Amino acid sequence: MRIGAMLLTDGLHAYQSFGDERRNLRYMGTLQTCLRALVYQKFDEITIALPAYFRSIKGSLAFEQLRQSIQQSYVSLPITLAGGTSEELNSLIVNQQCIERISVNSMLFQDGALERLKRLQGHFGEQFIVANLVIKLSNGIWKFFDHSNHKFCNIDRFDYELLDQFDEVSCHFIGQHGSIQKFEFWDVISEKIQADKVILAGGVNNKKVISEANKFNFAAVLMDNYALYSEHLHAM
């Protein structure tokens, strides 16, 4: 099982997230500095997320800032970009060769999603695109977030046949208040998603969670940006 890390950024700076709104962010430093810290900690991969609430950041501008930070940090780790991309930006990413994969959410809920996925896979390769499910436990019910329509829906309503066409699926849990305590969610979706396709993210910040995830034979876990703080390194 791979062990990666996740960073939230506006293109120049990195933040620690405490919720799904911009006001719940804690400044961590420049993206370049944080990338260097992750390389030093010997992670297997990095996911860089550009949250929707950074509305002032335009796709091509943000990517150019990311590219420069990656280049100047001498990052040799595989990098996945999440947060919404266009096909024009996808081509730019491939040509610049500094991002290995993109992670998508909104596309999962749009008409013609399967046809678009197949077109992207045919053009860029099957491993280029990862599905990103944002999941939350609300009043005892597991729900996923549809970024395309900005709402939570019951997890049973998802198109799992579409999800099965992706090389890997990132299950990003929000509202964990620090750490995943139980793996009850897997009882809900284990018959619908192959374990070896799952990338577990959100609330992953200690050895116990990593050990439990490894028992399920998940493809990878993404440590929270919490892992960048030196006082927490022992947790990994």
What pLDDT tens digit does each residue of the chain (236 aa) get?
Answer: 999 988 888 778 888 765 555 556 778 888 888 888 888 878 899 888 877 666 444 556 666 777 777 777 777 788 888 875 555 555 566 565 667 888 888 888 888 888 888 988 888 788 888 998 888 877 878 888 877 777 888 877 778 888 899 999 998 887 655 556 567 777 778 778 889 999 988 777 677 888 888 888 999 998 876 656 554 444 44
What's the pTM value of the predicted model, to 2 decimals?
0.83
Beta bridge partners, 16, equal 26
Residue range(s) defining the domain that contains residue 93: 2-235
Closest CA to 77 of 194, 198, 220: 220
CA angle 74, 79, 29 (to 5 degrees): 65
In this predicted structure, what is the pLDDT of residue 2?
Answer: 93
Of how many residues is the chain composed? Answer: 236
Q: What is the CATH number of the domain that holds 88?
A: 3.20.20.70
Number of domains in the chain: 1
- pLDDT at 234 (0 to 100): 44
Angstrom distance (rounded) from CA 221 to CA 165: 20
Q: Which amino acid is at 52?
A: A
